[in-house]
Structure 1
């Protein structure tokens, strides 16, 4: 685009490749308040009417500008022994003194010790999402049928000669309703979210996980996916409810910063209407999506909701946020075990599961390495169920902390989260265009609103090709092409998160161009 001017001199042909990736640094220095940025935004807005978004799709995750910030770490979380460790992993198959079997029976192993063991079940308290209520302590003799007693969460303590020698907390989806089998093909949806996971950091640090995920086959990466807002909440709500919290899109009775959020049109409600079992799993209860400085839910939002369990164990010093372990286990393994148990319990019916693991990677992108073997093992062990399901492996946004953000690549990563999608072979054999459009759209500018539309399609069993070509806020990622000339403005991506590179020829005598040049030299 040529910018016309009254100045009667030859335009200085300056081919300026201006991307927000480089301009975002100026934003952090409060330069955006200057008239320069007002003029720049006006210029880019005029370009967006017809310009093509050139996405940074082929960035090297080990670029030399990145390596100074990389710290080598193990690929697993190691949990040291504690004072109460002698009764963990004592069974023939590694069971602890107490454990829950596949039938929901809480069992206690026979050991040559005179132990006095008690159990105490607990659940959420009334309409509070932040309180739990406990039953009275009762003796645990040999076993307890959790399903018959409608117990989802139970704490066990054992004493020997008056001293506490064992403590553990168990879970089981005992209250899941029995659903009839359907003759309609209803693929399950399993969403695995890792806090702050960008696609580049996935390529950099989760090699085993990547190999396991890709071994499922029929996989696609949305390389142009760009976040809509800064942190987790305003990015995941568009995915889960199709609404942006801070743009006046919520129902009038739901306050975005406060909640409660029961009345939002969550996509899991649409799945529930089709007789899917639903689950919402998050660790680190202080920072969960709907509870950080907010009220969460007045009623249990899904069929299985693990918040009471995590509130309980985080209330114990052995599982504080300073440790990634609880008793002998990493909290990540406990979290993935909860996913596994739900999948097993709901094996014969369609299910929708949204899991969000928060703690380890929230403030340090290097710590993604600690997750690798855990997620890889989970995917490999659950391959039979995952193969037949629609699987999202994803982040919410990229890394948001540290000096790494001062690099261009760091700023790209912060804005471009991971989204890998696996589709069941049966689905794409029946509807081959789904894979075709996902492949096309894998390198187009996309957002969480587009991913929401895909989920809505599944909930409504809507796989028909969309023939009509029109500009809109969200596109079905697998039923139509996302326009190649889609702009950040059209995708509802704010300027400061836009990663489109656009080549503009401008007049070197323009004041805002000279100011841009000065700033580039200064920084």
Structure 2
């Protein structure tokens, strides 16, 4: 039978429409902007790369601008940091590996030791002492005996203190951490189908500042296939309200109602995600440096029972108290002759090697503040060390069956850059990067596809929590579970996050939301002055009942932006918030506050919390409430 070929011809216009549809689908799935609005070509003065000023997130629910890390507005704040000088340049006398201490012969001259036989050393074991009811979780005990050794010694304990005497004089003190296999975990784990979870955190580093200060680290992670969440938006002011959602899935307020009524209580009854991993026979590890101001201990009681199998944070607290030095604002940079953040990374490697040798799956959460907490440019000093760390654990095979999360809680919260618009945005946009285990992309194809698409969605710490929950049972991440758009507040990175998602949908207050559009307006506008006065009154109301704190007055409005949630800056019936930077007296505190004008009620409302942009130091030493320290200026200092 003859076929009439003319009837089978498809119109040319059909192919054009089909191609356009495919391009739009591809752009939607991967959030690629085919024609970004207001494109401006910017020059990166550091690397001579071109930056296209569009949007890193451009969805119906959220648009976050793509900012140049080296823009003219922030360049003047980017400076060469001063390296730390540990122990005034005197090196450690001993070092450790996984199982022993050994003498560094190269250091003998620094201690004026000619004959090593004249050196007498011993070590004491240290361990955590459980606090009595009402005590703070910072107690420790030493062994009665100090065990003599010479040039090396095998160690079976977890933490030890070394003391060396020469010519009847103590010349050296040091502290060392180890990872002995504990009886309650050895031989109890069935690791079939499980993957290790390793979280490495850097305090106070925005996504852009990571790229700006640590390019070697970023470039290496890109080489090994890192996935970067471009729209990760913080939900609170400092570390606590941004990590509690990651670890519990709850906001700070919800945690208070659920299991932690006040800072006078312990955290033992709270449902941290590592407890769920423990139920799956994972070894659990928590470690932080600068732990005096740590997540559970700054103006808080901590735990009665140790919450994880291995807790480096206690060791860090003791070592900083005993041999901490090179103090900068809030942190000790060194313990003895070693950089503290390096010591934490070395401990992570000890954990990995020990778990690998004993075939024990682990959940490890590690947080470092000593490098990055106080200075915008300090992370640059750790670039080579972090690159080397990631390169080492990759090349030695420790990432083969490990999902790595490299992250921060927020950007730098004070300093000159923080008073710029870009600095404000960066502070709200920390970084989250993931390196997946070998074979993950093929084994969990739908999950990987969703993850890549979600890099261009608005995400938050609540989503990261759900991601950690999904990884407890990765075999459950089947297609039927991953299908469909999830509208929950917290959605795993491996599920489909809605492109219509807004800050309001996920519990990000207007004050922290980076999805809004804004214009700078005059500081002396009547509505601005009214809003600023209202904000100062609000701070004074928070301080009621604290007679030791002075009443604050408005000194000056430094900057004002009108923020809107709608598609137009001054559209009809749009919500309008004023984000105001102001200075108060006494104390010259600089604050950033979002005030919403409620037109119908002819009233104002402070949205979220008030940010402190300069350091308060000892100005608020007369109170202990960690929320109110930002605002209080002690009366005892007035006129001093």
Whether these two folds match at TM > 0.5 is yes
- Residues 357-407 of structure 1, C-alpha deviation per residue, up to 9 Å, x if partnerless? 012221211111111111111111111212431111111111111121221
1:126 aligns with 2:130: yes
- Residues 215-234 of structure 1, C-alpha deviation per residue, up to 9 Å, x if partnerless? 322x2111111001111001
2:120 alignment partner in structure 1? 116
Name the structure, 1 or 2, with higher relative contact order (CA <8 Å, separation 6+): 1
1:269 equivalent among 275, 282, 289:
275
Cα distance change on mapping 1:325 and 1:474 into 2, 3 Å: same
1:297 aligns with 2:303: yes
1:358 alignment partner in structure 2? 369
Distance (whole Å) between structure 2 residues aligned to residue 470 and residue 122 of structure 1: 48
1:71 equivalent among 58, 65, 79:
79
Q: Could you tell me how far 1:498 is from its partner in structure 2?
A: 0.6
1:341 alignment partner in structure 2? 350
SS in 2 for 1:129: coil
Distance (whole Å) between structure 2 residues aligned to residue 437 and residue 385 of structure 1: 25
- Residues 101-149 of structure 1, C-alpha deviation per residue, up to 9 Å, x if partnerless? 43x23456896331222221111112352111112242413455433xx
- Residues 284-343 of structure 1, C-alpha deviation per residue, up to 9 Å, x if partnerless? 121110101001111111111012311222112543644522222211111111111011
Cα distance change on mapping 1:272 and 1:359 into 2, 3 Å: same
Aligned pairs (5 A) from 1:200-215:
200-215=208-223
Distance (whole Å) between structure 1 residues aligned to residue 145 and residue 577 of structure 2: 74
Aligned pairs (5 A) from 1:128-277:
129-142=137-150, 144-147=153-156, 151-176=157-182, 177-180=185-188, 182=190, 184-217=192-225, 219-246=226-253, 248-250=254-256, 252-277=258-283
1:306 equivalent among 301, 312, 315:
312
- Given that 1:313 and 1:319 are in contact with CA atoms closer than 8 Å, whether structure 2 keeps it comes out as no
SS in 2 for 1:319: strand
Distance (whole Å) between structure 1 residues aligned to residue 576 and residue 355 of structure 2: 60
More strand as a share of residues: 2
1:463 alignment partner in structure 2? 477
2:337 alignment partner in structure 1? 328
1:376 equivalent among 387, 395, 414:
387
1:494 alignment partner in structure 2? 509
Cα distance change on mapping 1:130 and 1:320 into 2, 3 Å: farther
SS in 2 for 1:352: strand
Distance (whole Å) between structure 1 residues aligned to residue 66 and residue 576 of structure 2: 28
2:489 alignment partner in structure 1? 473
User: Which moves more between the two structures, 496-505 or 272-281?
Assistant: 496-505
RMSD after superposition: 2.8
Distance (whole Å) between structure 2 residues aligned to residue 178 and residue 455 of structure 1: 24
- Residues 53-97 of structure 1, C-alpha deviation per residue, up to 9 Å, x if partnerless? 3332521111111101111237x75546556x4xx4xxxxxxx4x
- Given that 2:259 and 2:267 are in contact with CA atoms closer than 8 Å, whether structure 1 keeps it comes out as no
Cα distance change on mapping 1:161 and 1:368 into 2, 3 Å: same
1:54 equivalent among 50, 62, 66:
62
Q: Could you tell me how far 1:194 is from its partner in structure 2?
A: 0.2
Structure 1, unmatched stretches of 5+, are 1-16, 18-50, 89-95
| TM-score where L is the length of structure 2 | 0.66
1:504 aligns with 2:567: yes
Q: Could you tell me how far 1:472 is from its partner in structure 2?
A: 1.5
Distance (whole Å) between structure 2 residues aligned to residue 398 and residue 223 of structure 1: 14
SS in 2 for 1:72: coil
Distance (whole Å) between structure 2 residues aligned to residue 443 and residue 170 of structure 1: 43
Distance (whole Å) between structure 1 residues aligned to residue 302 and residue 577 of structure 2: 49
Distance (whole Å) between structure 2 residues aligned to residue 174 and residue 414 of structure 1: 39
- Given that 1:284 and 1:321 are in contact with CA atoms closer than 8 Å, whether structure 2 keeps it comes out as no
Q: Could you tell me how far 1:250 is from its partner in structure 2?
A: 4.2
SS in 2 for 1:385: coil
SS in 1 for 2:72: coil
- Given that 1:245 and 1:256 are in contact with CA atoms closer than 8 Å, whether structure 2 keeps it comes out as no
1:399 aligns with 2:381: no
Cα distance change on mapping 1:515 and 1:255 into 2, 3 Å: closer
| TM-score where L is the length of structure 1 | 0.80
Distance (whole Å) between structure 1 residues aligned to residue 65 and residue 200 of structure 2: 23
The number of aligned residues is: 449
Distance (whole Å) between structure 1 residues aligned to residue 505 and residue 413 of structure 2: 25
Distance (whole Å) between structure 2 residues aligned to residue 59 and residue 265 of structure 1: 37
SS in 2 for 1:113: helix
2:456 equivalent among 443, 450, 461:
443
Aligned pairs (5 A) from 1:9-48:
none
Structure 2, unmatched stretches of 5+, are 1-36, 38-58, 106-114, 517-564, 583-640
Cα distance change on mapping 1:77 and 1:378 into 2, 3 Å: farther
